[in-house]
């Protein structure tokens, strides 16, 4: 069954006992019922041998171990689906590096297809957060642009148990952070073209991040904040590469 309990992280020291154990010797978790709850299948219909985990040798606290098991679990896939995942990973890897190498001052990321996707949710965010006051309405555009990818990650992990899909959501989150970089950096210069035409200089009060940073008293730090947001987005995208690559590596071993 399990060498490490998926609930408390207890490691069974007896390899022979692992093969026949139906419950955790420490917390009493019934593995069959746990599988039913996790994968929404009747007890006995999920073959736990098809669930692939790798638990590092470092010592994790139980709640960290459970989190690690949740985000690294993979399942046996048919070869067609597996190679489809490889194709998606390859496209996102190449495309992601293009975003990473873009420089904030050029605003080049604003010409990308993903910018148009992000813009839809950005504008919707102003409407969604409007009931919470002027400041939240202005900030809401950028917030919803970032919240949507996080929701995708959560849905793929908790509802669909699809960690590879969640890694794609993390890629989108990183890209969305980078997409905000030029807008934040333009808070004082006001040279970027805004939706509807004209720049922030042409339309006083229309530039989200001029309003946000001026309200917070941080307008003089627009370039630093933009660099921090862009750098954070880069780290999230690199993490998505590592996460997705690890899952594909695990799935490859599961196919053999």
Q: Are both 60 and 119 inside the same structural domain? A: no
- Among the candidates 72, 89, 116, a domain finishes at 72
Answer yes or no: do 84 and 170 share one domain: yes
pLDDT higher than threshold 80 for residue 249: yes
Cα–Cα distance list, 180 to 25, 38, 66, 118, 240 (Å): 50, 36, 33, 9, 19
Res 40: pLDDT: 46
Per-residue pLDDT tens for 185-198? Answer: 999 999 999 988 99
CA distances from 81 to 51, 76, 253 (A): 16, 10, 15
Q: What is the pLDDT of residues 3-20, one digit of tens each?
A: 566 656 666 666 666 556
Count of domains for the chain: 2
Same domain, yes or no, for 167 and 231? yes
pLDDT in tens, 153-183: 999 998 888 999 999 999 999 999 999 999 9
Please provide residue 234's backbone torsions phi and psi, each rounded to the nearest 5 degrees.
-60, -45
- Mean predicted confidence (pLDDT) in 140-155: 98
Range of the domain at 47: 15-72
pLDDT of 56 over the 80 cut? no
- Cut 0.75: pTM above it: yes
Shared domain for 90 and 183, answered yes or no, is: yes
Round to whole Å and give the CA distance between 195 and 202. Answer: 12
């Amino acid at each position: 069954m399990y060498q490490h309990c998926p609930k408390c992280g207890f490691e069974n020291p007896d390899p022979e006992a692992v093969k026949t154990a139906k419950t955790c010797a420490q917390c009493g978790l019934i593995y069959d019922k746990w599988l039913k709850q996790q994968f929404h299948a009747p007890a006995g219909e999920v073959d736990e041998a098809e669930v692939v985990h790798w638990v590092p040798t470092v010592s994790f606290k139980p709640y960290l171990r459970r989190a690690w098991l949740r985000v690294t679990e993979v399942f046996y896939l048919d070869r067609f689906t597996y190679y489809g995942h490889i194709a998606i990973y390859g496209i996102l890897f190449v495309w992601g590096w293009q975003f990473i190498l873009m420089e904030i001052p050029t605003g080049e990321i604003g010409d990308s297809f993903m910018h148009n996707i992000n813009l839809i949710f950005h504008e919707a965010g102003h409407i969604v957060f409007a009931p919470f006051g002027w400041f939240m309405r202005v900030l809401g555009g950028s917030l919803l642009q970032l919240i949507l990818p996080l929701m995708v990650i959560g849905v793929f992990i908790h509802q669909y148990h699809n960690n590879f899909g969640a890694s794609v959501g993390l890629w989108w989150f990183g890209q969305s952070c980078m997409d905000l970089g030029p807008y934040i950096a333009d808070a004082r210069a006001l040279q970027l073209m805004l939706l509807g035409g004209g720049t922030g200089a042409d339309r006083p009060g229309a530039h989200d991040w001029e309003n946000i940073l001026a309200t917070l008293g941080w307008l003089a730090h627009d370039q630093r904040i933009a660099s921090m947001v862009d750098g954070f987005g880069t780290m999230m995208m690199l993490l998505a590469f590592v996460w997705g690559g690890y899952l594909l590596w695990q799935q490859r071993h599961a196919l053999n």
